[in-house]
Each structure stands twice: as structure tokens, then as C-alpha cells.
């Protein structure tokens, strides 16, 4: 494939369009309708600009912008490194995904924020637009320094979103988020970038591998470790993942687009750049770092799935699912090293890993949107309160079920295709052990999603089966539902009683009439979840007295502003699963894999 590079302002325009929108959003803070209109316009515009480059990129053209194209400025950003954006196939994959999904998230978040009557909405929408700017910047960055610039900006821009609620919990999560991401970005990635620069005198993607191969292997391994760990922080690699579940205190559109797509995928994308273009699979394999990365990823995806089994708060369970699914991507990339050494399967694992970027994005966004929609409509956050909820929100739960099936890798949904490639590739690369891990993880996926779906559709609130995994302490000792009187079952000592009392009192105010017993029962149940220490008890979910009302299948369950995006995105997930070659992502990824493997 003949590559040729065209100077163009389009990559910069794609980055800046939402930065311009920030100013407009802030300026129109007194008129919410105008403000949201800017958001939507920016998202559509951004997608249009990105999409306009797609045909060219598929034909092997790359669009490049550098600082030197601004009159009076030099391209050089720091000595020996240009500040440049280049829309290549890999960048397009991420940019296309993020900008496409932002359109629907823009609608959805308008509905979400209004439905909950959240404060500081202007700050929310402005930060959201800023985050998207930074994400596209990461996608198109041409070298490690430029990607670092946007990586840091992304950390800064998403911090206000995590701490949005201004509660103690949200601020603590924000602090943790900043600490983790700056450790990953300002320390690890910066150090890795500097090391690569010192070893090779350049940081441009695709130009460093030859020099790195000749450098001291210990230093080259150190550089890989620093970069992979640095990007791995945002990609939720264990043991640096714990900011992600905490960051779920953010409003759901943030959890959805940023903490399932833009932010965390920027980490995975960074790993992809490092593996495929900074070091390139051959060197990754020779240095032996690919196998190490794959091992970390395999551990993460198994461990996170197991933790997810015990999370009762829906968003928290989804967060651990995200941690686990992101590791599929990293696993695919890590396996590229051993596969290159083995001489077979490189292309397959790369395709599998990269395809999981859009596949997971579509599915997880659906799941988060469903969770947010349920929260807005019924204030239900806990899985144990969701039995029978399909009666109240049939379309939502149907979408949820489809996306959950995809997560588990059931055919005809997006997740199946990427996992299939990964499985085949792992076997081709003589790393069958990872194929076993993948299959095991599929089982675990079913184990943590099926109870939600089953409970929602086939049980009612009053006669639900017990949920041993989330109700009983580890070890399976049955202490019964009303365990508040048994302090030994409580992780943090006597606090359970207090929590119990507070809850009961608060519930009294909240729910007029009887039904105290059930409410007490439920909340006492929460107090023993040693796993969910950050639960706040502000929300009182669960069905109203007398069980869930029945809503029809025609969208009576809530605002179409939120339901619409859910249905569109789940449809996207199915399209990706049924006709992967017609959806543009697989084609793009094959271009990438061709470029890498040659």
C-alpha cells in the first residue's frame, strides 16, 4: 500500500472544534438550550471532520498538520521533536470511534443532566468538550511528546468531571484520579518518552524501533516498561486500576463515554502506539516484554472479572468489567510480540486486540447508558434492587441484555468477533494458555451479567432468589439477609448498625407508607458488602410500594433523549457483530495490521 502524506489543517480542526465549543458553552451558560446545542453541533462537526478523512486514510493517504503550518511558528516543539498531528489508520480508528459515540452521548447527557437537575452543568459540558478535544489529540498525535501533551490535558480536563458532585466521595475520587493519572502520565509516560528520546534522538511513531533495537536492552526494556505502565494506568491495568471503579461517582455519561471509551481507550491506544509503532512487534518479542505485558493483562482480566462478581452497585460492576475488557485489548497487543517471534498469528492478535476497542466501546456504552437511564428514572443503583425491573423498563433491559451477551462473547454481537480473532491468534502464536484464559473469562462474564438479566426479566422484587455472591461475606457463610445484628459479619465493625439506622430513618422520610421492612432488609444487606465501601446511601432505589409498574415496549419508560442513543448504540454493537466487514472499523484495522506486519 502506497503511503503518501498530505499537509492538511483537518487533524487540527478535528481537535480544536470542541475547544472552540468550550468558549461558546461557557459564554451561553445562562441559556441551557443554546449551550446543549453547541455541544451537539461540536460533536456532529467533529465527527464530520474526522469522517471526511476516512476515505483518504483507507486509500493510504495520511493527513498531517504541524505547528510549522501556523505562520510565524516553527514546527519544533521541544528540541528535536515537532508538535505534529497525523491522521493515520490507527489514529483514525480511535478518533472515529470517540467522535461518533460523542454525538449520541451529547444527546444522552443533556437528558441525563436535566433529568437529575444536576448543578454546575456548564462546567460539565465544557469539561466534556475539552476531554474530547484531548482524546482526538491523542488519536492524531504523531510522536510521543505530542501524545504526552494531550494525555496530560485529558487528565486535567476529566478531573472536574470525576469530582463533579463536589461531595466528599467525589472529591476523594477526584484526588485519587489525579494522583493515578499524573503518576501514569507526568511521571511514567514522561520518563519513558524522555528515555526513548535519549536513546533514539526522536520520538516520532514508526521511526524509533531501529535505534531502540541497537540500544542497551536493559534501557530499552525500561523504556517499554515505563511507557506501557504509564499508558496502562489509564487502561486500568492491575495493579494501577483502582482509580477507575472510584471514578464511577461521576455522572453516568462521563462513566460511559470517558471511562469506557475515550479516557480508558486512550490508555489502550497509547499501549497500541507503543507496541506497534514505537517498538514494533518484532522488538517487543525479542525483548521479551510482550509476554510480560500479556501476562499482566491476563491476570487483570481474570482478577477483575472475579471482583466484578461481588460488586452490587451496577456501575461498579460495570467498571470492573471495563477493567477486565480493556485487558483484552492489551492482551492482544502484548501477544503481538511472542507472535512475531513465533512467526505466525501476529496479524490476527493485532486485529483482535484493536477490534476490541470499538467492540467494547459500543457494548459498554450501551450498558452504562442503561445504568444511567435506570438511575434517572427510578433512582435504582444496586443490582439487588433490580429484580423485575424489566417490567418497568423493557427496552432498556433488552438493550442491556444484548450488550451483556456481547461482552461474554456470544456470536452475532460485536464482542464475539474480536474475541474470536484473539483466540485464534493466541493459538497460532503458540500461546494457547492465553486462549484458555480468554475462555475462562468468557464464563466469568456470563456469571456476572446473567444474574442481572435473569433477575430483571424473570424475577419480581418480592420473590427473588438469594444472591449468595453479593449478599454473603467471602467464604460463603450464610449469615442471613438481616445480618445487621451480627457485627462479626461486618467489615468495618459496628458501623453497620449506624448505617442501618440512618438508612432506616432516611427511608422513612423518603418512602411514605409501609414497606419499611423490605427497605431495611435491603440496606442492611448493603452494609455487609465489604467490597462496596464507597456506597453512598443518598439514593433510595428499588421498586415503589407494590412492585414495578408495567411500561409498554413503545418507549413509555422515560425520555427519548436518553432512550434513543441507547437503542442506536446497541444497534451499532449488533451491526459490528453481524456484518463486521461492512462496518468500517474492521477494514481500518486491517489497514493498520497490514502496515505493521507488512
Partner 1 sequence: MSELLPALLIVLPIVGATLPLGVGLLRENVGWSIAALVLSVEGGLAAWLATAVYGGEGAARIVHVLGGETFGRRGATENFVVGIELVADAFSGLMVLLVAGVALGVLAFARRGGPRGNAFYSGYLLLTGGLMGLFLTGDLFNLFVFLEIVGLTTYGLVASDRDAESAVAALKYLVIGTTGASLYLLGVGYLFLRTGALNMVDVSRSLAGEPEWIDGALYGDPLVLAAFGFIAVGLMTKAAIYPLHTWQPDAYAAAPDAVTVYISALVSTGGAYAFARVTWTVFTPEFFAVGQNARILELVIVLACLSVVLGSGLAAMQRRLKRLFAYSSVSQFGLIVIGVCVAVHPAGGTQATQLAVYGVVIHLLGHGLIKGGLFATVGALAHGTGARRVREYAGLAKRRPFLSGSIAVLGLAIVGVPPTIGFLGKWYLAVGALNTELWPVIFVVFASTLLTLLYVARLLETLYFDGPAEGAAPAAGPEPEGPGAPGGADDAVMTDGAGSLSYGMIALAVSAAVLTVLLGFAGSALTDATQPIAQAVIEAAPEVGADG
Smallest separation, CB 7 to partner 1 (Å): 18
Binding flag, residue 69, partner 1 (CB under 8 A): no
DSSP characters for 411-446? TTSHHHHHHHHHHHHHHHTT-HHHHHHHHHHHHHHH
Smallest separation, CB 125 to partner 1 (Å): 16
Q: Are 247 and 162 in contact (CB under 8 A)?
A: yes
Smallest separation, CB 19 to partner 1 (Å): 12
Q: Which of residues 107-146 bind partner 1 (CB under 8 A)?
A: 145
Smallest separation, CB 76 to partner 1 (Å): 4
SS3 403: helix
Neighbours of 190 (CB within 10 A): 20
Instruction: Give buried/exposed letters for 518-530 (b at 16+ CB in 10 A, else e).
Output: bbbebbbbbbbbe
Stretch that binds partner 1, among 78-86, 438-446, 452-460, 563-571 (CB under 8 A): 78-86
Binding flag, residue 424, partner 1 (CB under 8 A): no
Binding flag, residue 504, partner 1 (CB under 8 A): no
Q: Given candidates 153, 260, 276, 376, which one binds partner 1 under the rule CB under 8 A? A: 153
- Bridge partners of 84, per DSSP, are 66
C-alpha cell at 234: 489509564
Q: Given candidates 16, 44, 67, 556, which one binds partner 1 under the rule CB under 8 A? A: 67
- Name the residue nearer to partner 1 (CB basis): 515 or 534: 534
In the chain the first and final C-alpha atoms are separated, in Å, by: 9
Q: Of the candidates 453, 371, 373, 372, which has an alpha carbon nearest to the alpha carbon of residue 406?
A: 453
- Name the residue nearer to partner 1 (CB basis): 73 or 482: 73
Per-residue DSSP letter, 183: I
Q: Given candidates 41, 51, 54, 178, which one binds partner 1 under the rule CB under 8 A? A: 178
Q: Which of residues 8-37 bind partner 1 (CB under 8 A)?
A: 29
Alpha-helical segments (H) within 459-515: 468-471, 495-510
Binding flag, residue 183, partner 1 (CB under 8 A): yes
Smallest separation, CB 368 to partner 1 (Å): 23
Size of the site for partner 1 (CB under 8 A): 35
Can you tell me the distance from the alpha carbon of 237 to that of 260, in angstroms, rounded to the nearest whole number? 14
Stretch that binds partner 1, among 12-20, 89-97, 156-164, 572-580 (CB under 8 A): 156-164
Can you tell me the distance from the alpha carbon of 18 to that of 20, in angstroms, rounded to the nearest whole number? 5
Smallest separation, CB 136 to partner 1 (Å): 16
Binding flag, residue 180, partner 1 (CB under 8 A): no
DSSP characters for 31-89? -HHHHHHHHHHHHHHHHHHHHHHHHHHHTTEEEEEEGGGSTT--SEEETTEE-EEEE-H
Binding flag, residue 160, partner 1 (CB under 8 A): yes
Give CA separation, 405 vs 314, 380, 413, in Å.
Answer: 16, 22, 7
Q: Given candidates 179, 433, 495, 505, which one binds partner 1 under the rule CB under 8 A? A: 179
- Name the residue nearer to partner 1 (CB basis): 119 or 480: 119
Residues 385/391/395/401 CA torsion (nearest 10 deg): 50
Q: Given candidates 11, 91, 174, 442, which one binds partner 1 under the rule CB under 8 A? A: 174
Q: Are 589 and 93 in contact (CB under 8 A)?
A: yes
Omega before 77 within 30 of 0, i.e. cis: no
Smallest separation, CB 74 to partner 1 (Å): 4
Q: Of the candidates 222, 348, 226, 229, which has an alpha carbon nearest to the alpha carbon of residue 281?
A: 348
Binding flag, residue 561, partner 1 (CB under 8 A): no
Q: Given candidates 1, 5, 27, 198, which one binds partner 1 under the rule CB under 8 A? A: 198
- Bridge partners of 345, per DSSP, are none
- Name the residue nearer to partner 1 (CB basis): 133 or 321: 133
- Name the residue nearer to partner 1 (CB basis): 196 or 276: 196
Q: Given candidates 24, 52, 69, 77, which one binds partner 1 under the rule CB under 8 A? A: 77
Q: Given candidates 161, 195, 319, 367, which one binds partner 1 under the rule CB under 8 A? A: 195
In the complex, which residues of this chain contact partner 1 (CB under 8 A)?
A: 29, 67, 73-79, 83, 145, 148-149, 152-153, 156, 160, 163, 166, 170-171, 174-175, 178-179, 182-183, 186-187, 190-191, 194-195, 197-198
Amino acid at each position: 500500500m502506497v503511503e503518501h502524506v498530505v499537509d492538511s489543517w483537518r487533524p487540527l480542526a478535528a481537535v480544536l472544534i470542541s475547544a472552540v465549543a468550550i468558549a461558546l458553552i461557557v459564554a451561553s451558560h445562562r441559556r441551557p438550550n443554546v449551550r446543549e446545542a453547541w455541544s451537539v453541533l461540536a460533536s456532529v462537526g467533529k465527527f464530520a471532520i474526522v469522517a471526511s478523512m476516512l476515505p483518504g486514510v483507507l486509500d493510504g493517504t495520511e493527513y498531517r498538520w504541524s505547528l510549522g503550518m501556523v505562520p510565524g511558528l516553527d514546527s519544533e516543539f521541544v528540541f528535536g521533536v515537532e508538535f505534529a498531528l497525523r491522521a493515520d489508520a490507527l489514529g483514525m480508528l480511535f478518533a472515529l470511534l470517540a467522535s461518533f459515540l460523542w454525538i449520541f452521548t451529547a444527546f444522552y447527557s443533556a437528558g441525563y443532566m436535566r433529568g437529575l437537575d444536576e448543578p454546575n452543568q456548564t462546567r460539565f459540558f465544557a469539561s466534556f468538550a475539552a476531554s474530547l478535544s484531548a482524546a482526538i489529540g491523542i488519536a492524531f498525535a504523531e510522536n510521543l511528546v505530542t501524545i504526552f501533551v494531550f494525555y496530560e490535558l485529558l487528565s486535567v480536563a476529566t478531573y472536574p468531571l470525576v469530582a463533579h458532585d463536589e461531595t466528599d466521595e467525589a472529591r476523594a475520587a477526584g484526588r485519587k484520579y489525579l494522583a493515578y493519572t499524573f503518576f501514569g502520565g507526568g511521571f511514567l509516560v514522561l520518563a519513558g518518552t524522555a528515555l526513548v528520546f535519549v536513546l533514539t534522538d526522536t520520538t516520532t511513531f514508526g521511526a524509533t524501533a531501529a535505534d531502540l533495537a541497537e540500544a542497551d536492552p536493559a534501557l530499552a526494556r525500561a523504556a517499554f516498561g515505563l511507557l506501557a505502565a504509564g499508558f496502562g494506568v489509564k487502561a486500568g491495568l492491575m495493579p494501577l486500576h483502582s482509580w477507575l471503579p472510584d471514578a464511577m461517582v461521576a455522572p453516568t455519561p462521563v462513566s460511559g463515554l470517558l471511562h469506557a471509551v475515550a479516557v480508558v481507550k486512550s490508555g489502550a491506544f497509547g499501549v497500541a502506539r507503543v507496541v506497534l509503532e514505537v517498538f514494533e512487534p518484532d522488538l517487543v518479542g525479542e525483548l521479551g516484554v510482550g509476554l510480560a505485558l500479556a501476562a499482566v493483562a491476563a491476570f487483570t482480566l481474570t482478577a477483575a472479572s472475579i471482583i466484578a462478581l461481588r460488586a452490587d452497585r451496577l456501575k461498579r460492576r460495570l467498571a470492573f468489567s471495563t477493567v477486565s475488557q480493556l485487558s483484552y485489548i492489551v492482551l492482544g497487543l502484548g501477544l503481538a510480540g511472542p507472535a512475531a517471534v513465533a512467526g505466525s498469528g501476529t496479524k490476527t492478535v493485532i486485529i483482535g486486540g484493536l477490534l476490541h476497542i470499538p467492540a467494547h466501546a459500543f457494548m459498554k456504552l450501551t450498558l452504562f447508558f442503561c445504568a444511567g437511564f435506570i438511575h434517572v428514572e427510578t433512582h435504582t443503583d444496586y443490582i439487588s434492587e433490580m429484580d423485575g425491573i424489566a417490567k418497568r423498563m423493557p427496552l432498556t433491559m433488552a438493550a442491556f441484555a444484548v450488550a451483556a451477551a456481547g461482552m461474554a462473547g456470544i456470536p452475532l454481537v460485536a464482542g464475539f468477533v474480536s474475541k474470536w480473532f484473539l483466540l485464534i491468534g493466541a493459538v497460532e502464536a503458540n500461546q494457547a494458555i492465553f486462549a484458555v484464559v480468554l475462555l475462562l473469562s468468557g464464563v466469568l462474564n456470563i456469571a456476572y451479567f446473567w444474574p442481572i438479566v435473569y433477575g430483571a426479566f424473570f424475577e419480581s422484587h418480592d420473590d427473588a432468589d438469594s444472591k449468595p455472591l453479593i449478599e454473603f461475606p467471602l467464604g460463603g457463610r450464610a449469615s442471613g439477609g438481616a445480618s445487621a445484628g451480627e457485627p462479626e459479619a461486618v467489615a468495618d465493625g459496628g458501623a453497620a448498625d449506624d448505617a442501618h439506622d440512618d438508612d432506616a430513618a432516611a427511608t422513612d422520610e423518603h418512602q411514605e407508607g409501609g414497606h419499611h421492612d423490605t427497605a431495611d432488609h435491603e440496606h442492611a444487606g448493603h452494609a455487609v458488602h465489604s467490597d462496596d465501601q464507597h456506597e453512598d446511601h443518598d439514593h433510595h432505589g428499588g421498586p415503589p410500594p407494590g412492585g414495578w409498574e408495567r411500561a409498554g415496549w413503545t418507549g413509555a419508560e422515560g425520555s427519548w433523549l436518553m432512550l434513543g442513543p441507547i437503542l442506536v448504540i446497541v444497534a451499532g454493537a449488533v451491526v459490528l457483530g453481524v456484518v463486521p466487514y461492512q462496518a468500517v472499523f474492521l477494514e481500518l484495522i486491517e489497514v493498520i495490521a497490514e502496515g505493521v506486519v507488512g
